[in-house]
Amino acid sequence: MGALRDEFLRYLARTSAAPDGLEVRSAEGAWIKGADGKRYLDLLGGIGVCNTGHRHPQVIDAIRAQLNRHLHVMVWGEYAQEAPVGYAKLISEHAPVADARVYFTNSGAEAVEGALKVARKATGRKRIVAFEKSYHGDTLGALSVLGVPALREPFEPLIPEVIFLPFGDSAALSRITKEAAGVIVEPIQAEGGVRVPPDDFLPALRNRCDETGSLLILDEVQTGLGRTGILWAGDHWGIKPDLLVLAKALGGGLPLGAFLGTSRLMDTLAKDPPFSHLTTFGGHPVSCAAGKAALELSFSLDLPARAAKLGAIALERLEGLAKKGTVAAVRGKGLLLGIECQSAEQAERLVRACRAKNILVGTALHDETVLRITPPLVIREKDFAYGLGLLATAAGKAAK
């Protein structure tokens, strides 16, 4: 065990009993170099963060340019700064919400908190509807709408008047009433095991929200910005949210989240009382400069289309494993893919077997039988094919 790993285990608070502990020396594109001198093909991409890869030159140039101008100067929202203003304009021009106004945060969880507050304040209602096996973050408000009881229970009581419905069940949507301020949903449940809903579900949910006057909060933290083969995953089903939540790839590799809605909704935070939601570092100019460069790069390289193409190739190849019975199922959209194993034990063997071949994969947070694949959208086709080939070989061994 190296000195860095020893100090990692000694000084950093752990979030699991046995962290991976890979000693990272550098990273570029879809590859991570370890202290052991080995190169690892990154099929996780920071859990969907690194759409444009590690250290893309255009993103690094944007960071350097902003460093030469200024860092933090004032609590965000008070001074006009070119980086957050320019990025908010770019997002708004492409958002699935008309007349969009953006509120930048530090993370996806904080963005969820803000969206929940807007839903309650704008409607005057208290109830929030969420879905089983959902994941929206781990702060107390976000945890309140997290759809796994075992993860909520140690921290209860949480915010009241939250009800959970089965994800993908259109018949259950009748339980959404005019008492609901908002309904928060992921278009595809990533941490829940890359669960793709039936095609009728999200349109039915949009209709039910319209009927009851409840705000539809679409959590696209993992699915947004091209990950699923289209800029916004909700567009696969033709739905538009009232509030949109973003993070992960939003910052181009730096910490950044956001929630956005129409000016009418978002202006509720500025009155009765004013300063209803504040952040010191949300919308940090360096993060916004990096994120804007990454999103512009996504447009210039058409990374959503690239994700759709590579994802279709991967699904076709991986579905052969399911047909052979090596794994239980394969599913997903674009480069948000899930491989459901026969058991959690098989999934763990597969993760270890891939790691032995210098391929980085991992299981979903709420379903340890499912391997999640979320590589950088810029991954070279030959590298991706190489990784999929080793993964298929490892899956065959892990099934034994």
Residue 1 pLDDT greater than 80, yes or no: no
Cβ(103)–Cβ(75) below 8 Å = no
pLDDT in tens, 57-96: 999 999 999 999 999 999 877 899 999 999 999 999 999 9
Residue 195 burial (CB count, 10 A): 23
Residue 400 pLDDT greater than 80, yes or no: no
pLDDT in tens, 352-365: 999 999 999 999 99
Q: How far apart are CA 128 and CA 196, in angstroms?
A: 22
Cβ(108)–Cβ(47) below 8 Å = no
Residues across the chain: 400
Q: How far apart are CA 255 and CA 290, in angstroms?
A: 10
Average pLDDT taken over every residue of the chain: 96
Q: Which domains does the chain have, with CATH numbers?
A: 3-55+302-398 (3.90.1150.10), 58-301 (3.40.640.10)
Cβ(118)–Cβ(259) below 8 Å = yes
Q: Are strands 180-185 and 215-219 parallel, antiparallel or unpaired?
A: parallel
Q: Is 177 exposed, middle or buried (0-12, 13-18, 19+ CB in 10 A)?
A: middle
How many Å from the N-terminal Cα to the C-terminal Cα in the chain? 30
Residue 153 burial (CB count, 10 A): 9
- DSSP of 336-354: EEEEE-SSHHHHHHHHHHH
Helices (H), 56-155: 57-67, 82-94, 108-123, 140-144, 149-152
pTM: 0.96
* pLDDT for the residue 384: 97
pLDDT in tens, 199-237: 999 999 999 999 999 999 999 999 999 999 999 999 999
Residue 220 contacts by C-beta under 8 Å, 6 or more apart in sequence?
A: 186, 187, 232, 233, 234, 244, 245, 246
Q: How far apart are CA 221 and CA 145, in angstroms?
A: 15
Strands across the sheet containing 215-219: 100-105, 257-262, 243-246, 215-219, 180-185, 127-131, 162-165
Give me the mean pLDDT over the 14-31 stretch: 91
Cβ(133)–Cβ(235) below 8 Å = no
Q: How far apart are CA 53 and CA 23, in angstroms?
A: 19
Residue 119 pLDDT greater than 80, yes or no: yes
Q: SS3 for 101?
A: strand
Give me the mean pLDDT over the 97-109 stretch: 96
Q: How far apart are CA 120 and CA 110, in angstroms?
A: 16
Helix, strand, coil % over all residues of the chain, rounded to 5: 40, 20, 40
398 — pLDDT class (breaks 50, 70, 90): confident
Candidates 362, 364, 343; CA nearest to 352 is: 362
Cβ(334)–Cβ(227) below 8 Å = yes
Cβ(38)–Cβ(48) below 8 Å = no
Residue 74 contacts by C-beta under 8 Å, 6 or more apart in sequence?
A: none
- DSSP symbol at 280: S
φ, ψ of residue 373 to 5 degrees: the values are -120, 115
* pLDDT for the residue 133: 97
- DSSP of 231-257: SSGGGGGT---SEEEE-GGGGTTS--E
Q: SS3 for 364?
A: strand
